[in-house]
Amino acid sequence: MTAVVVDTLVLGGGVAGLWTLRELLDAGIDACLVENAGLGGEQSMQVQGIVHGGGKYALRRVGDVSAIRQIREMPERWREHRAGRRSPSLADAHTSSEGCWLWLPAASWLARLEALTLIPLLRHGGVLATPPQSRPKSEWPLPLQQHALRAYRMDEPVLEPVSVISALAGPVGDRLLAGQLRAMRREADAWELDFEDGRKIRARAVVACAGTGNAKILELAGQDPARMQRRPLRMGLVRGDLADLPALHGHCVIGGRTRLTITSVDAAEGQRVWQVGGELAERWASTNGEEFFGDLWVEIQRALPGLDLSRMELADYPAVRAEAANTAQSRPSGVQVDEVAPSMIVAWPTKWAMAPLLAEEVAGLIVPGAKRPDTSFNSLDWPRAGLARPPWERAEWRSANSARPA
């Protein structure tokens, strides 16, 4: 079978891979992308959609000022893309909320102390571009009006991940190919890639933005897959009718840490879904026990005392943060872009909000020697990659009452 010849091949169709492809095409580079499952597949569809500006890092008293400074400008950067003032345009992406809330639960004595100490420090510390700001109680989301002691708003927008992937993919759908990589090798001045269905691609440069899939790509390229680390999560889901489950986007703060991070998405048939992360997701990352659902109930009641869950459903899904490895197995500082072999780049954004920075860094490495677009993909006999399904559409749901502690 005749190989497709392209200057740069991007492997992985999540937010990092798609943004990188768009950046390369905008720079006039002949590029395409191959995804082995569905666009947004394993990692990008699992995120909660918050465009962090560093507030969560500062809240956890993370000493990595470099990471905070790198991410602090991302909310404004994404607003530029949402407004269509920068390419790629995200004008067609859905914004779930223009801001994200920090709240202190009404029933916690520790929250009362934090209202006097921690939050004012974040507001006036000068590190954040979007520090928490007080708002009148009438502006708080309904659940916080009813159940929170204090609430502060940060100008960190929340975007629906499915719509972001769709907005990035739409204009370049002819260059989004589907395929399972079987082998790759360096020959002369190019990479030869073989796929399971017998198709082939020859590319001068390869960029791996495949999340957990980067480990396999590294191995196939004769590189050490231990360059990548995995930090798992067990995310919670709550589903209810729109009238019973109000929209909420924010972090519950107890003890100076984000006990819960909750974001909302409107699902099918008049229902709303909460994605629940934070320390709960980290604590249950390596266990599959049914006790998780009891803990999910307890933590929600602790964060929002008195919230009625009796008519809700609960579910969970495993998530994973694929990142560049470090000796402490902790979150890396900022984006990680590494040229591991001649004209082969492996990249991880660390946070999905930093995908624009990753794409720019990759493009800066690719541009020298790049070929202008001249490959026609419209008539190419190759299956195209479609959208992956979000986790709440694949979850196994149960009555919340079945998890209610005795």
Looking at residue 54, what is its pLDDT? Answer: 76
Q: Please, what's the b/e burial string for 272-290 (b: 16 or more CB within 10 A of its CB; e: otherwise)?
A: bbbbbbbbbbeebbeeeee
Please, are residues 200 and 381 in contact by the beta-carbon 8 Å criterion? no
Least confident window among 140-144, 177-181, 190-194, 372-376:
372-376
Predicted local confidence at residue 290, as pLDDT: 92
Q: When comparing pLDDT for 331 and 209, which is higher?
A: 209
**pLDDT digits 0-9 by tens, 70-120:** 788 999 999 999 999 999 999 999 999 999 999 988 866 555 555 545 555
**pLDDT at residue 130 is higher than 60:** yes
What does each C-alpha distance from 136 to 140, 153, 155 come to in angstroms? 7, 10, 16
Q: Please count the CA atoms within 13 angstroms of the CA of 65 that sit on its side-chain side.
A: 3
pTM above 0.85, yes or no: yes
The predicted pLDDT at position 213 comes to: 96
| DSSP category for residue 110 | H
For the residues 326-352, what does the mean pLDDT come to?
Answer: 88
Among the ranges given (8-22, 163-177, 328-342), the one the predictor scored with the smallest mean pLDDT? 328-342
pLDDT at 42: 78
| 369 Rama sector, left if φ>0, alpha if ψ -120 to 50, beta otherwise | left
- As a whole number of angstroms, the distance between CA 397 and CA 49 comes to 22
**pLDDT of 221 strictly over 60:** yes
**Does the structure show a pLDDT above 50 at 355?**
yes
Burial-class residue 148 by CB neighbours within 10 Å (0-12, 13-18, 19+): buried
Mean pLDDT, residues 308-319 taken together: 96
Tell me how far the alpha carbon of residue 272 is from its chain's centroid: 20
CA 247, 74, 255, 332 torsion-angle sign: positive
Give the Cα separation of 319 and 161 in Å (integer).
Answer: 15
Give the pLDDT of residue 89.
98
3-state SS class at 180: coil
Q: What was the pLDDT predicted at 380?
A: 82
pLDDT 10s digits, 45-78:
999 999 998 766 655 544 556 667 778 899 999 9
Q: What is the mean pLDDT of residues 235-254?
A: 94
Q: What is the mean pLDDT of the chain?
A: 89
- pLDDT recorded at residue 372: 65
In 3D space, the residue among 10, 381, 378, 15 whose CA is nearest the CA of residue 191 turns out to be 10
> Which strands, in side-by-side order, build the sheet including 228-241?
133-134, 148-154, 100-105, 250-254, 257-266, 271-277, 228-241, 313-324, 398-399
Q: How confident is the model at residue 170 (pLDDT cuts 50, 70, 90)?
A: very high
Q: What percent of the chain has pLDDT over 70?
A: 87
Q: What is the pLDDT of residue 124?
A: 44
Q: What pLDDT is attached to residue 116?
A: 45
pLDDT of the residue at 362: 96
What sign has the CA pseudo-torsion 33, 218, 233, 20? negative
pLDDT digits (tens, 9 = 90+) for 289-306: 899 999 999 999 999 988
Residue predicted with more confidence, 114 or 335: 335
Q: Which of 36-40, 53-57, 132-136, 157-161 has the lowest mean pLDDT?
A: 53-57
